[in-house]
Amino acid sequence: MKISRRTLLQITGVGTAIVAFLPRMAFASPNSLRTVRTGVQPGNKTRLVIETSQRPSYSLSYPTNQIIITLSNTSANANLVPALASGTIVRSITQAQVGDKLQIIANLSKPVSGIPKDQIMVLSPNGDNDYRLVLDFVAGQSAPAVAETNKQTQKTAPAKKYIVVIDAGHGGKDPGCIGKNGTKEKNVVLSVAKKLKTKLDAAGFQTYLTRSNDTYLKLAQRASIGEKKHADLFLSLHANANPSRAMKGFSIYTLSEKASDEEAQKLADSENAADKIEVDGFEQFSKDIRIALSALQQHAVAEMSVEYANGCAKQFKTMKITQQPGPDVRHAPFAVLRSTVPGALLELGHLSNAEEEKLLNSSAHQDKLVNAIVKSVKSYNFDV
């Protein structure tokens, strides 16, 4: 699944001009309900998605243990069977036609007092999807009064900026791996991280760096920055070293308790070794995260991470950046990826290979890497 450029522009709030040129729908033709589905999101959130043929005009109300979404000028769909995921607080969904308005009633196992504005999105059609009203909520939260309605005349989607945390690996007393000509991993990845931040900011994302200078951070601190910033995506940037100086190429990894292969395990061991310099803190953080995440949520985070990583590997191929031989995406127990935020660890190339050491130092090649990553983030399906 891909997020279209137009959807992305609208989400980031800069696509208003484009939308204005789209042919207007006749107001008389009723909107129709296509699908209703729920899913589990990181952070114990329930996601409710209502798909309609036209941009929905809606209002929300919150009777006890219910959310009622009232869609203007919309007809009920008698054949619709809501797709309800397990592990959410939505127990059932029914429809009620009230004049030309359609009420979608979500019956909840726990009360929700409101949904904050930044947790409500209207997405334009992309791929197989029509217009989607997306609501993310947790039990008990309250909504600011402004969140209640949107008018059909209002053409911009709520400006939800996706948050990306960029982690430049190593730093300070931990240089990471060192090339034959003395290039330090910590410096290369910081340079790429800063360029990546600039480009992602320009593309409408909200980004944060775990470090913006040559400082040492523990792996748990890095992961917890992703948590604190409520990141939608966490990218940890590294460069590789291999006993064989001939080995070269980019590789990408997601978190799993069991490594996909021996090489991935070795890499995780060496990247995790950064914390051996100061080991305290991680065990507790890791335990807290494990307790906070249900198995289902862990599964959702892992799935989203793999989806991103696959798309990223594809972009690197498209841009003809040398890939390390082997599978497109590998998995290993990287400590820095242990959080509720979907993410990946990118090994941008091998500093142990003389040719790649030179490339990784060149500004032009760094730009090429950054462009590939920006494309991968843009094409990642942040929504449903």
Q: Where does this chain bind Zn ion (CB under 5 A)?
A: 169, 176, 238, 271
* Least CB distance to Zn ion at residue 281 (A): 19
* Least CB distance to Zn ion at residue 236 (A): 8
Please give the span between the terminal C-alpha atoms of the chain, in angstroms, as a whole number: 9
One-letter identity of residue 164: V
* Least CB distance to Zn ion at residue 160 (A): 32
Is the CB of 169 or the CB of 342 nearer to Zn ion?
A: 169
* Least CB distance to Zn ion at residue 313 (A): 18
Question: What is residue 205's three-state secondary structure?
Answer: coil
Is residue 102 within 8 A of residue 71, CB to CB? The reply is: yes
Q: What span, in angstroms and rounded, lies between the C-alpha atoms of 376 and 324? A: 18
Is the CB of 15 or the CB of 176 nearer to Zn ion?
A: 176
* Least CB distance to Zn ion at residue 190 (A): 12
Is residue 157 within 8 A of residue 57, CB to CB? The reply is: no
Number of C-beta neighbours around residue 70 at 10 A = 18
Strand 74-75 to strand 58-61: parallel, antiparallel, or no bridges (unpaired)?
Answer: unpaired
Contacts with 196 (C-beta within 8 Å, 6 or more apart), sequence order: 166, 207, 235, 237, 370, 373, 374
* Least CB distance to Zn ion at residue 172 (A): 14
Question: What is residue 242's three-state secondary structure?
Answer: coil
Nearest to 209 by CA among 250, 251, 171, 256: 171
* Least CB distance to Zn ion at residue 1 (A): 31
Q: What span, in angstroms and rounded, lies between the C-alpha atoms of 43 and 162? A: 15
Is the CB of 271 or the CB of 383 nearer to Zn ion?
A: 271
Q: Two tokens at 129?
A: 């999807």
Nearest to 379 by CA among 300, 325, 316, 329: 316
Is the CB of 51 or the CB of 185 nearer to Zn ion?
A: 185
Number of C-beta neighbours around residue 27 at 10 A = 11
Residue nearest to Zn ion (CB): 238
Is the CB of 207 or the CB of 251 nearer to Zn ion?
A: 251
* Least CB distance to Zn ion at residue 238 (A): 3
Is the CB of 130 or the CB of 271 nearer to Zn ion?
A: 271
Nearest to 138 by CA among 121, 174, 160, 114: 114
Which residues are 103's β-sheet partners?
Answer: 70, 96
Question: b or e along 298-332 (b: 16 or more beta carbons within 10 Å of the residue's beta carbon)?
Answer: bebbbebbbbbbbbbbebbeeeebbebeeeebbbb
Is the CB of 218 or the CB of 238 nearer to Zn ion?
A: 238
* Least CB distance to Zn ion at residue 185 (A): 5
Contacts with 182 (C-beta within 8 Å, 6 or more apart), sequence order: none
Is residue 209 within 8 A of residue 217, CB to CB? The reply is: no
Is the CB of 227 or the CB of 271 nearer to Zn ion?
A: 271
Is the CB of 42 or the CB of 176 nearer to Zn ion?
A: 176
Q: Two tokens at 213?
A: 């200078």
* Least CB distance to Zn ion at residue 311 (A): 22
Is the CB of 160 or the CB of 222 nearer to Zn ion?
A: 222
